[in-house]
Amino acid sequence: MKQINLDDLVQRVLEELTRKEQDVIQFPEEKQQGVERPNNPEALEAAMKRTPARIGIGRAGTRMKTGSYLQFRIDQAAAQDAVMKTISPTLLETLQLPALHTKSADMSDYLMNLDSGRALSEESVRWLEQNGDKGKDVQIIISDGLSTSACEATIPDLLPALLQGLAMRNISVGKPVFIHRGRVWVQDQVASIVNCKVVISLIGERPGLATAESLSAYMIYKPDTNTVESDRTVISNIHRGGTLPIEAGAYLAELLEDILKYQASGVKLMQLRAK
């Protein structure tokens, strides 16, 4: 039996591991049809184009194909990362966004204690009282919410488009702020502190397996203690596969102009616009 040199064996293993680390599996952006010999390929292709759902992926015996399973795991990991990761400090610095915090001590507290994300920390309240722009038409809030990935993917294009659209309409805007671990209702507290007419929250949506980068915009006119959810106007599915961020920014500026014009948001705004 030939004797194996231990040093040579270790070297070969290390070389093999290095090669594997350099191998990258590329998955196509477009969904791939995996059904072999479909009865109606045209109908299947049309159905796949109409929905991001995992249809037409085919199977191997009783299980999904390896490629489909790996893509599922990739999308699942992206969704988990979107919730748990922290916003890039470089992004906040580039967009010149002051960073505030809610009462959520960490992400676990945020997920398990809903109220903790609905109110600013005492330190953030003091900062906003001292440094926030008061008495403006619109106050913009950006928050990671349930998807940091949504903020990182959409805000760099959406925010400039929104600010430009508001400037073109001569609508005054308070300095936008970023709120870590914020929920929608925190906008009511912010509005009361800065005394704005309308507050808009751009907040990461709950990520799914179709996309982890979807953002929503919640707007409300002069919220108070009697505010209910139907008083909020909501635009959702802002991402590269839905409403594009630049287009969303322009549309939101137009919508905010209407909210100021009618002095109402939510269901009341819809009723007034319909008259």
202: CB partners within 8 A, 6+ apart: 140, 141, 142, 143, 151, 154, 155, 158, 159, 215, 216, 217
Q: 205: annotated binding-site residue? A: yes
Residue 249 tokens read as 């920014």
Predicted confidence (pLDDT) per residue in 166-187, tens digit? 999 999 999 999 999 999 999 9
CA pair distance 166, 189, nearest whole angstrom = 23
Whether residue 131 is predicted with pLDDT greater than 70 in this model: the reply is: yes
For the entire predicted model, the pTM comes to 0.79
Percent of the chain predicted with pLDDT > 70: 85
Structure tokens that stand for 31 in this block: 């969904």
- pLDDT confidence of residue 3: 57
pLDDT tens digits for range 1-53: 455 565 665 677 666 656 555 555 555 556 677 788 888 888 888 887 777 77
Domains delineated in the chain? 89-274 (3.40.50.11240)
Q: What pLDDT digit, counting tens, does each position of 96-128 carry?
A: 999 999 999 998 899 899 999 999 999 999 999
